[in-house]
Amino acid sequence: MGTLSLSDYEDVRIWAPWGHIAGRWYGNRSERPILAIHGWLDNLGTFDRLIPLLPDYLGVLCIDLPGHGCSSWLPPGMHYSTMEYVLVIARVMKEYKWQRVSLMGHSLGGVLSYIYTALAPHTVDLVIALDILLPPLETPMALKYFGYALDKHLVEDERAEEDSLHEPPSYTLAQLRTVLSKGSNNSVAPEFAQHLLHRSVAKSQLYPEKFYFSRDGRTKYYNILPVNGPLAAEMAKRIKNKPYLVIKASKSHHINSKANEAISILSKQNPHFEYHEVPGTHHVHLISPELCAQYIVPFLRHHRPPTVSSWSVDGEKKLSTTEHRRQQENFFTRHLRRLSKL
């Protein structure tokens, strides 16, 4: 078996009350895929370099969260929140009539996976968390952030009204790569920024060769779900016997000592819990995807192995489950006949 191709995909639009959730479904589209969710202010392009390293018998549905990438913005006056993003997982499942879901998330996407799995563990069959585990835990500094974000919500509402009348500031692509890299705290090197820019910018109508950021400015100040230590621990206790892979980047602070209790609970009560550290920054899955794939691929092959219909021997035509069962029955019938003649 080979690996997925970045050119083998179908663009999808998933209905939502405010518009649609944009996605790109790679690989196998006849079976339930891995649902991949990007991080804060990113988009599905964050998985561009990881996708070609994953097994080709699986499909991967990467989505843009609302307000990001090519997904619709929330209506004016509304604001983004952690729980609104968590609900996106349920919306996608409803759209495709999935009873279960396999989740892969980076940063905010990994937080959403943790929360959703704790809320509905019976519907999740595996989780891959890239350089994240818990939502940010409550601290005295959180109050300062909430006060800051409260004011910024109003500023962004006013800015959205202005942008509807005037085009936002525009930049060259080289400038945008630098801006994006700095905005990620240099986690994304400028040479890899194009993977995120191609779904995050729009061409200026005023200045040829210039572009502007097209994501919703309100996403910068989404309402974070406040979680304290005991609640985070209780959530971990609800994730029992669930294949859960956590990959930490060595130069990132997104998984720190505050996650120790949850990691201890998960590792003690869950024989399918894995924790690995790889060298790199917060976007290690984009910068050095092979370091993550060395753990993701065996994890997927073990917990989402190929179905019978995906098997192929020496290049022979793949058999459906029904055909495979029929051939098995014919084999056993012939075998019994031979035995009866002995």
The set of catalytic residues is 107
Let me know how long the chain is.
342
Both structure tokens of 99:
């009873």
Phi, psi of 162 (to 5 degrees): -65, -45
Both structure tokens of 207:
């200045």
Strand pairing of 101-106 and 34-37?
parallel
Token look-up 């917060």 returns 282
Q: Which residues contact 11 (CB under 8 A, 6 or more apart)?
A: 22, 23, 24, 25
The residues facing 127 across adjacent strands are 103, 244
Token look-up 């924790």 returns 275
Helical H segments across 97-139, by residue range:
108-119
DSSP state of 329: H
**Closest Cα partner for 215 from 69, 109, 20, 84?**
69
Tell me if 12 sits within 8 A of 92, measured CB to CB: no
Strand pairing of 59-63 and 19-27?
antiparallel
Task: Report the C-alpha gap between 37 and 102 in whole angstroms.
Answer: 11
